[in-house]
Chain A
């Protein structure tokens, strides 16, 4: 069953020059136990989408959706308070820059014990304090911090960034969530620490069967860990499918360009050769192109691209493009067959 099922979600912002559609009809579904990556460059609305899911957007943003279900419950019909009560029990989120998200004036231990709900503790009130302490230590062990005493008695600035991010994950795990949304958890970290955090998330996903939505701007860092990927560009849905499909058989010109421009994916390229790249830069929110927003940068753009394309589904591989790259592959195959026949 789908945990989260979003169909055609739009987020709009009122400005002096009229309403701007920051996120335009994006669909996203997460199954139980899925490790999904959400990829998009800056300004693609991926963080907005995550904030809309957990409902922390301020009043000036207007969220519309055709369908917005959480485990079969229609979230759009609930009042904002009911929705928060439901989601804060089941969904947790961790952020970029863990150092700035933790309270710098409070000990790590206190911040962790604050996050533990009283309903999780059994026993009489005089036993609660000890139980809480034990729960804190258990949480720290869960995220792989062995020196729990040292960690509990220190302030955020005394710990390294990777440990801080682990503490953030521990706080998120305190509520025993079903879905964990990680918004660029490793953006400012170096590669060895990045690996540690990704490995921890993958462990949680496999051992605890927790669903994870991992948001990142870089496709090449994700592919090793995720099972499915959704790609967004400038607020529009681009492509979704399994990691294998996205990386090896990408159909959208944008995803193709992302994969081709990645230096890590193209290790066979001769050094110092030119990389494949899209011309131009990412459009700003005030001057979004109509129709398919990739249009001005797309090498395959034609006249029909001024209207937004519909999402088409190829065996679970969803792509939103008028001219997906699939036809070329079939053509090549047919040419090959003809040649073989000719030889015979």
Chain B
């Protein structure tokens, strides 16, 4: 399998308040390198403040990295060219209720990325929105509804539809499954796994829930204070956790793999 997303030596540091000759820095990410293949899932786990979300933001282009390079299919992603990046890397956020614009219908919401990134005419866009909604398990007629008319699980499906409508290659799930109710969460996991098979997507899953991580991901990366402390195949890491942080996480969730 070819490598889809290749991240090399990414760092991020923030300048803190300080004097001219006494500049202080806060390092959010120490050099991080990893690679994701198509149809595979990389899970990132860690405590709050370990730099998981910063990494996600850098990948999707909402923040620029201090140093380092990101390659997608062997092509360098430049920090200024959002068009290229936002077609291929999309993100789903934790709280779907607040990420959808309440004053737009679903059709207008899904139309926006299409108008900005593609050259389809109105009829084609309409057709694409319809098929995408059906793909995530909603009806085509739902496109005339406003976000408040949907339940939490359906809203999360709409944000998924917005993510996959541009046929991306990588989707970043930033705690996207955490706020859902258990029965809807398993529906969503099934849907995501189906889409991965159909469209050949690569996922980057950021999650606290190790049960989901075990079920959903192929590789795992444990982070602490901006550093990767352990990484490898999910099963192997969870069977035999080496680092203290990993052991603590597994202990706190009472998970033991044999």
Contact = CB atoms under 8 A, between A and B. Distances in A.
* Top 5 A-B pairs, shortest CB-CB distance: A264-B211, A263-B211, A261-B186, A41-B181, A277-B186
Interface stretch (B84-92, B103-111, B165-173, B187-195): B187-195
Interface of B: 47-48, 151-154, 181-187, 189-190, 193, 208-212, 214-218, 234-235, 248-249, 251-255, 257
B208 A42 contact: no
A281 interface: yes
B257 A267 contact: yes
A277 B47 contact: no
A224 interface: yes
Given A192-B248, A264-B253, A269 B215 contact: yes
A284 B254 CA distance: 34
B126 to A, nearest CB: 26
Contacts of B208: 190-191
Contacts of A190: 47-48, 208
13 contacts: A41-B184, A190-B208, A192-B248, A220-B182, A257-B183, A261-B182, A261-B186, A263-B209, A263-B211, A264-B253, A275-B189, A277-B190, A278-B183
A209 interface: no
Nearest to A271: B215
A258 B183 contact: yes
Interface in A148-166: none
Nearest to A40: B181
Given A42-B152, A257-B183, A261-B182, 9 more contacts: A192-B248, A224-B254, A264-B255, A271-B214, A271-B215, A271-B216, A274-B190, A282-B184, A284-B151
A38 interface: no
Contacts of B152: 42
Interface of A: 41-42, 190-192, 194-195, 217-220, 224, 257-258, 261-267, 269, 271-272, 274-279, 281-282, 284
A271 B209 contact: no
A224 B218 CA distance: 27
Contacts of B210: 191, 264
Interface centre among B152, B181, B189 (most CB of A within 10 A): B181
Given A192-B252, A277-B186, A263 B215 contact: yes
Contacts of B251: 195
Contact of B249 (A191, A278, A282): A191
B196 to A, nearest CB: 8
Contact of A281 (B151, B186, B252): B151
Contacts of A41: 181-184
Contacts of A265: 211
A108 to B, nearest CB: 22
A263 B212 CA distance: 6
A144 to B, nearest CB: 16
B151 to A, nearest CB: 5
B253 A191 contact: yes
A294 to B, nearest CB: 11
Nearest to A269: B215
B186 A191 contact: no
Nearest to B186: A261
A194 B234 contact: no
A15 B65 CA distance: 53
A108 B235 CA distance: 44
Contacts of A192: 47, 248-249, 252
Nearest to B194: A274
